[in-house]
């Protein structure tokens, strides 16, 4: 069923959880180009953007990644540290820092070419076992590209009983293999997750003969309590077992769409963490949190607290689209009333 979008007052924000969130995935340099040539270099990488977004929204956050000690790696480290993100031990090494060349089209959308190697150092893998996070976020190239993808899967399976999980497949066809193989991999990770975000382009690649809404609705029956389909200027559509809900995007002047989905993801996770609908800290605490999230998404209409979390995420994506590069909003920007 289709649920109406309720008019609800903003839910007062709560303090972020004291236990850090954990993000696993790539950090790289986005090289923006367009018809006139190179526009500039910006730190990025989908999981790194999510970590930075959570940090800017006030959450303690750690990132397990792979960054070199070269010029672009130093810039990435400084960018993450300014945003409140702590790198796990072993995340910086004597390796080249990866890059993605983002070609901005006239309409502001972006296509990517990658120079990327993904793996985790033994020290980073050991640090992942040091204690349960409040929440684990995974996604993008880090869940698909060997040899590191197997380590991310193992860490997710090990962490899931003790912390909630969010996942964004962030499909990059140029780096992927057989479509059927990738579809099975993604669906396995969807089933391990509590909240999943995907774009309509992601689902169109995974299921070329199926409507993205049909695929998203099926994902909501695989395991997650909430599946959110981002739809560019049309906003987002949230799916749960009993229905779906459209959340429109605010009107904005688009500079580019780099990092917009990552800002959406970090804001959605932040809002759900603040409402105690995501978190962990141990087996019993995680089970209780999952029960609350299941209850919140168990009826024909979403409660106001979940609707507000989705609106918060849509607004965050819009702010990012209004400026160049992957620049997620701060807590103060998002809490400021819209003009």
- What's the whole-number average pLDDT of the chain? 88
Residue 292 pLDDT class (50, 70, 90 cuts): very high
Tens-digit pLDDT profile for residues 133-169: 889 999 999 999 999 999 999 999 999 999 999 999 9
What pLDDT score does 30 carry? 81
Q: Is the pLDDT of residue 257 over 80?
A: no
Of the candidate ranges 162-171, 263-272, 291-300, the one whose mean pLDDT is the lowest: 291-300
What pLDDT score does 324 carry? 73
Q: Is the pLDDT of residue 14 over 60?
A: no
Residue 112 pLDDT class (50, 70, 90 cuts): confident
Instruction: Give the whole-angstrom CA distance, residue 199 versus residue 241.
Output: 19
Tens-digit pLDDT profile for residues 206-250: 999 999 999 999 999 999 999 999 998 899 999 999 999 999 988
Tens-digit pLDDT profile for residues 240-251: 999 999 999 888
Q: Is the pLDDT of residue 6 over 90?
A: no
Average pLDDT over residues 288-316: 93
Helix H, strand E, coil C: the string for 101-122 is EEEECCCCCEEEEEECCCCCCH
Q: Is the pLDDT of residue 20 over 80?
A: no
Name the residue with tokens 């945003």.
Answer: 83
Q: Is the pLDDT of residue 335 over 70?
A: yes
What pLDDT score does 337 carry? 60
Residue 37 pLDDT class (50, 70, 90 cuts): low
Average pLDDT over residues 274-285: 88
Question: What Rg value do the Cα atoms of the chain yield, rounded?
Answer: 18
What pLDDT score does 338 carry? 57
| Range picked from 16-25, 218-227, 251-260, 329-338 for highest mean pLDDT | 218-227
DSSP per-residue string spanning 200-245: HHHHHHH-TTS-HHHHHHHHTTTS-SEEEEE-GGG-EEEEETTEEE
Identify the CA nearest to 309 among candidates 254, 338, 266, 255: 266
DSSP per-residue string spanning 273-302: HHTTSS-BSSHHHHHHHHHHHHHHTSSSS-
Average pLDDT over residues 272-281: 89
**153: its two tokens:** 């899967």
**260: its two tokens:** 């917009």
Contact 205, 276 (CB under 8 A): no
Residues 6+ apart with CB under 8 A from 131: none
Of the candidate ranges 92-96, 101-105, 303-307, 311-315, the one whose mean pLDDT is the lowest: 101-105
Q: Is the pLDDT of residue 11 over 60?
A: no
Tens-digit pLDDT profile for residues 45-97: 999 999 999 999 999 999 999 999 999 999 999 999 999 999 999 999 999 99
Residue 10 pLDDT class (50, 70, 90 cuts): very low
What pLDDT score does 270 carry? 94
Residue 12 pLDDT class (50, 70, 90 cuts): very low
List, edge to edge, every strand of the sheet that includes 61-64.
85-87, 61-64, 21-24, 135-139, 164-168, 195-199, 226-230, 236-240, 243-247
């Amino acid at each position: 069923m289709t649920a109406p979008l309720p008019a609800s007052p903003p839910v007062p924000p709560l303090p972020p959880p004291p236990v850090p969130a954990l993000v696993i995935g790539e950090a790289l340099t986005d090289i923006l180009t367009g018809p006139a040539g190179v526009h500039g270099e910006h730190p990025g990488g989908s999981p790194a953007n999510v970590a930075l977004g959570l940090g800017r929204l006030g959450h303690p956050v750690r990132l397990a990644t792979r960054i070199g000690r070269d010029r672009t790696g130093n810039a990435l480290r400084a960018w993450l540290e300014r945003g409140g993100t702590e790198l796990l031990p072993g995340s910086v090494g004597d390796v080249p820092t990866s890059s993605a060349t983002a070609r901005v089209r006239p309409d502001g959308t972006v296509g990517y070419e990658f120079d990327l190697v993904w793996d985790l150092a033994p020290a980073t893998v050991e640090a992942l076992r040091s204690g349960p996070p409040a929440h684990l976020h995974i996604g993008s190239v880090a869940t698909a590209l060997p040899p590191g993808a197997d380590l991310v899967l193992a860490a997710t399976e090990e962490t899931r009983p003790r912390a909630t999980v969010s996942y964004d497949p962030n499909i990059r066809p140029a780096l992927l293999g057989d479509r059927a193989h990738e579809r099975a991999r993604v669906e396995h990770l969807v089933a391990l997750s509590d909240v999943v975000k995907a774009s309509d382009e992601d689902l169109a690649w995974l299921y070329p003969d199926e409507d993205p809404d049909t695929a998203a609705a099926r994902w909501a029956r695989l395991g997650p309590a909430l599946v959110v389909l981002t739809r560019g200027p049309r906003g987002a559509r949230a799916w749960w077992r009993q229905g779906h809900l459209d959340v429109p995007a605010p009107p904005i002047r688009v500079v580019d769409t780099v990092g917009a989905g990552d800002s959406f993801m970090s804001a959605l996770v932040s809002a759900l963490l603040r409402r105690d609908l995501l978190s962990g800290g141990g087996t019993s605490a995680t089970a209780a949190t999952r029960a609350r999230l299941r209850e919140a998404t168990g009826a024909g209409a979403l409660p106001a607290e979940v609707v507000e979390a989705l609106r918060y995420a849509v607004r965050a994506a819009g702010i990012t689209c209004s400026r160049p590069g992957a620049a997620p909003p701060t807590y103060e920007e998002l809490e400021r009333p819209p003009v």
